[in-house]
Structure 1
Amino acid sequence: MTELYSGLVISHLGQGIAVEVNNEIILCQTRRKLETVAAGDKVKLIIVAPGQGRIEELLPRHSLLERPNKGKKTRPVAANIDQIFVVFATEPYCDFLLIDQYLAICENRNIDALLIYNKADLMTSTRIENELDTYTKLGYRLFRVSALDNMGIEQLKQALTNKINIFSGQSGVGKSSLTNALIPDKNLKTNTVSEITKHGRHTTTAATLYHLPDGGDLIDSPGVAIFGLAGLSEGQLAYGFREFQAYLDQCQFNDCSHVQDKGCAVRVAVENGVISEARYQRFLKLREKM
């Protein structure tokens, strides 16, 4: 009987999948009927030739991050993530709508969300400080860092330890410089994966899992800026706003849209100043976007 090995998916590379088995990278294909695997997936595989294998089984996931694909379909980006760090900065500009979108997904996907305010050495407006205050009062951990000055990087390293992590955020907020600060030999590791998989240069859109020097893993996914509200219902979007959760059962109607409905407890909480008006307005915008 062929021996089954346990492996960790490091990256999905076009036709091949890089899987780590006992500290060695094996280039794998998957069995025909297996669903799409993603970085962070745990799998069972057989070795078919030196350095080559075939994935036979996908093990259960405790979380999955997807992005929109053709039509109404979605495609897995990364699996078994424990924490998503939402990275933002004053430059290019703070997109709080996008931040709220990420947080809503995390609330529904069994993933802890944490916030990284990068380029924290730059001047901050009162508006941004007020928004940051709202998030911390809701219980979201906030890290003020500067990849440029190495400010706050040590605290960030501690938060990443023993977890599978991923950074998300719009382009230009400094995700790459943060990743490079945390994984000094990132290019070397990337090239190793490319050589083994004979893909020459590593594809820039593939999510790739890196082991962090102090323990824990970081999935680097250039395409993660586009994981949308794919797969969320309107009810789940409302649940994704943490401060709404206590009021959802108090609405007069079970299918309350929290827009103009009679007896909406969420709207009353907004009017009474218990829920941030700015967050509520962004909820309405995301609802329209869906």
Structure 2
Amino acid sequence: MPEIKEGLAIAHLGQGIAVEGHGQIILCQPLRKLDTVTVGDKVLWSEAGPGQGRIEQILPRHSVLLRPARNGKTRPVAANIDRVFVIFAMEPHYDCLLIDQYLAICENSNFKAALVLNKADLPLTDEAEHDLAVYAELGYPIYKVSAKTGLGLDRLIQALKNQVSVFAGQSGVGKSSLTNAFIPDKDIKINTISASAKLGRHTTTAATLYHLKEGGDLIDSPGVAIFGLADLSASELAYGYREFRPFIGNCQFNDCRHEQDKGCAIRAAVENGTIASSRYQRFLKLKEKIPLKR
């Protein structure tokens, strides 16, 4: 019987998974009965032939990042993430609705969240200063950086240590530039993974996990541009607004929609200034985008 070994899924290679473990990288095929194996998964695998492996089991995950798939379903993008860094910038102008969507999903998915203002060499508007102050008051760490000038990158590198991280954000905000700043030999590493798994060059097709020189792992994935709300209910969305939580249980009705409902404690907190009106209005907009499953 082949020896069962523990490994880490670090890349998708064609139809296979590159698994790192015991000082080697081997191309593995998952057993058909398994759920989708994704980058960041810890797995048990066995040798299936020369240079080939078989994933026998996915070990329990402490978190999983999902994205929308066809037919209203979701698909895992990465697993065992500790923190999501939401990248935004003044150009293209940031979208607080999208930022709130990312944060609500993080709050419901067992990963911490932080905000990264890239292109921080550009001037901030008064509106941006106000928006940042609201997020800072909620306890979200904010890193002001510039991939172009190197501003603030040292502080962000320290924040990436000793954890598994992923960058998310709308197109054009500089996710790739920041990733390349932290992994300058990214193409070499991709080729090394492919060569180790005996698949030639440039065969990675989706997410890839990189070990950072300074410590910590960074999962780079094109699939992280969009976080779906499909799996969140209206009540989970409300929970995802962390400033709502002290008030959720104080509403007059258990099935309160936090809209025009009588005795809504959240709306009362908005009216007296305890909850930022801008965040509440965006909550209502996001709520319209998901099926109501209160």
SS at match of 1:289: coil
CA-to-aligned-CA distance 1:138-183 (integer Å, 9 cap, x gap): 0000000001111111111111101000000001000011011111
Instruction: Please name the residue that 2:169 is paired with.
Output: 169
Task: Name the amino acid aligned to 2:23.
Answer: N
For residues 236-247 of structure 1, the aligned pairs below 5 Å read: 236-247=236-247
- Mapped to 2, the partners of 1:245 and 1:106 lie a distance apart of 15
- 1:250 and 2:250 aligned: yes
CA-to-aligned-CA distance 1:42-92 (integer Å, 9 cap, x gap): 000001123210000100000010011111211000000000000000011
C-alpha displacement of 1:192? 2.0
- Mapped to 2, the partners of 1:100 and 1:230 lie a distance apart of 15
Give yes or no for contact 1:18–1:197 (8 Å, CA) kept in 2: no
- Mapped to 2, the partners of 1:224 and 1:199 lie a distance apart of 26
- Mapped to 2, the partners of 1:16 and 1:61 lie a distance apart of 20
Task: Name the amino acid aligned to 1:265.
Answer: A
C-alpha displacement of 1:222? 1.2
C-alpha displacement of 1:273? 0.9
SS at match of 1:245: helix
CA-to-aligned-CA distance 1:181-217 (integer Å, 9 cap, x gap): 111111111122233352643345x111000001110
Give yes or no for contact 2:63–2:81 (8 Å, CA) kept in 1: yes
User: How high is the TM-score relative to the length of structure 1?
Assistant: 0.97
Number of residues of Structure 1 aligned to a counterpart in Structure 2:
289
Structure 2 unaligned spans of 5+? none
SS at match of 2:288: helix
Give yes or no for contact 1:165–1:219 (8 Å, CA) kept in 2: yes
- Mapped to 1, the partners of 2:2 and 2:87 lie a distance apart of 45
For residues 147-162 of structure 1, the aligned pairs below 5 Å read: 147-162=147-162
Task: Name the amino acid aligned to 2:37.
Answer: V
Instruction: Please name the residue that 1:99 is paired with.
Output: 99
Give yes or no for contact 1:193–1:202 (8 Å, CA) kept in 2: no
Provide the identity percentage: 63
Instruction: Please name the residue that 2:199 is paired with.
Output: 198
SS at match of 2:72: coil
Task: Name the amino acid aligned to 2:136.
Answer: T
- 1:269 and 2:269 aligned: yes
SS at match of 1:71: helix
SS at match of 1:284: helix
Instruction: Please name the residue that 1:184 is paired with.
Output: 184
Structure 1 unaligned spans of 5+? none
For residues 1-290 of structure 1, the aligned pairs below 5 Å read: 1-195=1-195, 196=197, 198=199, 200-204=201-205, 206-290=206-290
SS at match of 2:261: coil
Give yes or no for contact 2:190–2:204 (8 Å, CA) kept in 1: no
Give yes or no for contact 2:45–2:56 (8 Å, CA) kept in 1: yes
Task: Name the amino acid aligned to 1:125.
Answer: T
- Mapped to 1, the partners of 2:134 and 2:203 lie a distance apart of 40
- Mapped to 1, the partners of 2:216 and 2:152 lie a distance apart of 18
Task: Name the amino acid aligned to 1:167.
Answer: F
- Mapped to 2, the partners of 1:52 and 1:127 lie a distance apart of 55
SS at match of 1:250: coil
SS at match of 1:104: helix
Give yes or no for contact 2:191–2:200 (8 Å, CA) kept in 1: no
Q: Which moved more, 1:23-32 or 1:76-85?
A: 23-32
C-alpha displacement of 1:227? 1.8
Task: Name the amino acid aligned to 2:117.
Answer: Y
- Mapped to 1, the partners of 2:51 and 2:153 lie a distance apart of 36
- Mapped to 2, the partners of 1:156 and 1:107 lie a distance apart of 21
User: How high is the TM-score relative to the length of structure 2?
Assistant: 0.96
Give yes or no for contact 2:14–2:203 (8 Å, CA) kept in 1: no
